[in-house]
Amino acid sequence: MIIKQISIFLENKPGELSRPAKLLAKAHLNILTLCLADTQDFGILRIIVREWEKAKALLEKNGFTVRVNDMVALEVQDRPGGLAAILEVVEKAGVNLEYMYGFTLSKAGKGILAFRFDNPEAAVTALSRKGLQPVGGLDLFERSTKVAVKGATKKTA
């Protein structure tokens, strides 16, 4: 139920995003989805890849500061209120949402969102109880092989 996410510390300067992207591309490590948080000085690139241990080792070997976090992926109905239903459950369970972002893959009528909770296990339990079953890693990565995945082509501003 828990999916591993790799966060990479980046300085906010031209070309910084392409370095990890190129490294992963060379090693044939596919980025399932990504999100970039940035300030004027620095940024945090968050990626989800299937072979996260390999990606982590590769990035660290090349001098990046890397951190692994537990994420919860959820299918969301592509209609108003889809997200609100999820948030209501976790809020009631006393779990805080730190950040979230969307996946590039989706089934018909459904999107997938990645959530970073301060207590992922508690979130999974609360959501499952309400019938909101998180998407497991295996399922997610299997889908990704069927859907064309966008690579990391975004540039830091």
Instruction: Point out which residues bind other proteins (CB under 8 A).
Output: 7, 9-11, 16, 37-39, 41-42, 44, 46, 60, 63-67, 69, 98-99, 116
Cα–Cα distance measured from residue 71 to residue 122, given in angstroms and rounded to the nearest whole number: 12
9 vs 128 by CB, closer to other proteins: 9
- Give dist(CA 128, CA 20) in Å, integer: 35
Q: In angstroms, give the least distance from the CB of 135 to other proteins.
A: 21
Q: Is 97 left (phi over 0), alpha (psi -120 to 50) or beta?
A: beta
Strands of the sheet with 110-117, listed across from one edge = 31-38, 42-49, 2-11, 66-77, 110-117, 97-102
The dihedral sign for the CA sequence 17, 118, 72, 28 = positive
Nearer to other proteins, 96 or 133 (CB): 96
**Closest of 153, 59, 151, 76 to residue 115, by C-alpha:** 76
Is the Cβ of residue 41 or residue 79 nearer to other proteins in the bound state? Answer: 41
Task: Name the residue nearer to other proteins (CB basis): 60 or 142.
Answer: 60
Closest approach, Cβ 85 to other proteins, in A, equals: 25
Residue 115 CB, shortest distance to other proteins, in Å, is: 13
- Closest approach, Cβ 37 to other proteins, in A, equals 5
Indicate the residue among 118 and 142 with the shorter CB distance to other proteins. 118
Residue 110 CB, shortest distance to other proteins, in Å, is: 27
Q: Is the dihedral of CA 34, 108, 139, 76 positive or negative?
A: positive
